[in-house]
Structure 1
């Protein structure tokens, strides 16, 4: 059939009506507006204290104590950070926190990876019961083990040392649990193909499991890092000199040194403590979101 043979369009034919799309009702718009208002309220509750902390670190004492409060500082006092650095040995505090957090996180993450891989891919008797026992250990409050850990570390001669700060926290049941639950979702066909090609367990872990589990590994590493960075009770118990104190203990030391309650310097020291963790979080947030949402959809 050619173009001349095609039937001509009817001159009086009207186009087919488009399907009617119902407009968004007033109730739906009200619910959406209420959801936005709720999100704004949650953001204010979560970000309000952080904003007050950062702005107060740049205020003078009269501005901090004034009522009604000054939400925007009129005079930026950058010398608060220098006062905090001079009042306490923050150089030692930063070094100790960095060593304890980084070394402890690396060792704890490695142990959690190996344990999780063993629970998922290695057959051994009593595996399920042992995992349930480890889950039960998560229910025990950490303060219950403070005295046994201190007695053990004291007998080893590790009081007031980096080893004493790091060793008691090397076992991570929480990290093992998260990594095991993620490894259970990995495709078994890939592991079987690797075994057929002659790959051993270490090669499977480093070449297959780790690249496929990168978001979850980074999420666990950040959780462990923040926990160690903010730990207060154990460093306070196991250290006895200012040279071995960590940053949370350093803030207490700074508070004791500021006889006249220079809250500008104290809050400036607090900002110096939380900024490294915030920077790490913002750099790794896309991996954290991916790690927490993996398995939510197919």
Structure 2
């Protein structure tokens, strides 16, 4: 019996080692595949940064070089000399932050109404409201322009801010996370004499912060990179946002310095990258919670 037990123990140990070795090999293969995939995704950004440091005459060299032959930092200085780059950044930052604050305020209150307040036709109204996600922005730009023009807001930043304050996607994400919260929290607060606004601000809203964070990141990056609406509503050069003002670097008939253009693009990525890094830990949790309950 002792011999059989020892043999069984040896076989078990050997089996565990083989299984562990196979798992380790699979892990190495998976890690290698993910590293390759990450490199393919980062390659355009690496080429952009590399080209932004090249001499202008080396931008179109064949075969294309991965690393710059000479680190020409002057390309970044040309960005500020050719266009009011700082002013463009401040314009985009002002518009994007105001939209984020207003959008979160409106979306969270609307989500609270759809998730925590029972009223006739609530689900039907919510479905009709979500139908707005199927309408492309290009379809509604003409009615928006007519309305903005009658309000006298053309060539102002408010022409970009007001239409962007309401977004069905943000309301949907926050509402879905609110639906996962037990109603006992509301009932306990109401029994203690709390008002509905107090429950919203002090009980429910802090619990859905991941959804609020991911909505904020999506809204900020979407409006920071928006080119279409500023092209329609803004005419004054000093009021232009960063994506629209950057077109000046392209020059007449595309004759601009490619290295300077990509230097400007690299600089324009700093602010959204910092904003994304601030909210990245909430992205997975917020997106996952958004699809738990309908």
Partners of 2:5 and 2:277 in 1: how far apart?
Answer: 53
Unaligned stretches of 5+ residues in structure 1 = 1-11
Change (3 A) 1:25 1:287: closer
* Superposition map of 1:1-298 within 5 A: 17=6, 18=9, 19-20=12-13, 21-22=15-16, 23-24=18-19, 31-256=26-251, 260-294=255-289
1:30 positional shift: 6.0
For residues 105-164 of structure 1, give each alpha carbon's deviation from its aligned partner in whole angstroms, at most 9, with x where no partner exists.
110111110100000111111111110001111001111001000010001000001111
Please name the residue that 1:9 is paired with: none
Change (3 A) 1:14 1:296: farther
1:295 positional shift: 8.2
RMSD of aligned residue pairs (Cα, Å): 2.5
Q: Secondary structure at the match of 1:123?
A: coil
1:204 positional shift: 1.0
Report if aligned partners of 2:115, 2:178 keep a CA contact under 8 Å in 1: yes
Q: Secondary structure at the match of 1:68?
A: coil
| TM-score (normalizing by structure 1) | 0.88
Partners of 2:186 and 2:69 in 1: how far apart?
Answer: 62
Q: Secondary structure at the match of 1:85?
A: helix
For residues 215-269 of structure 1, give each alpha carbon's deviation from its aligned partner in whole angstroms, at most 9, with x where no partner exists.
1111100000001101110000001110111000011122126974211111111
More helix per residue? 2
| TM-score (normalizing by structure 2) | 0.89
Change (3 A) 1:258 1:268: farther
Partners of 2:67 and 2:253 in 1: how far apart?
Answer: 25
Change (3 A) 1:294 1:121: closer
Partners of 1:57 and 1:123 in 2: how far apart?
Answer: 56
Q: Which sits farther off after the overlay, 136-145 or 206-215?
A: 206-215
Change (3 A) 1:258 1:277: farther
* Higher alpha-carbon Rg: 1
Partners of 2:104 and 2:268 in 1: how far apart?
Answer: 23
Unaligned stretches of 5+ residues in structure 2 = none
Report if aligned partners of 1:185, 1:295 keep a CA contact under 8 Å in 2: no
Report if aligned partners of 1:159, 1:239 keep a CA contact under 8 Å in 2: yes
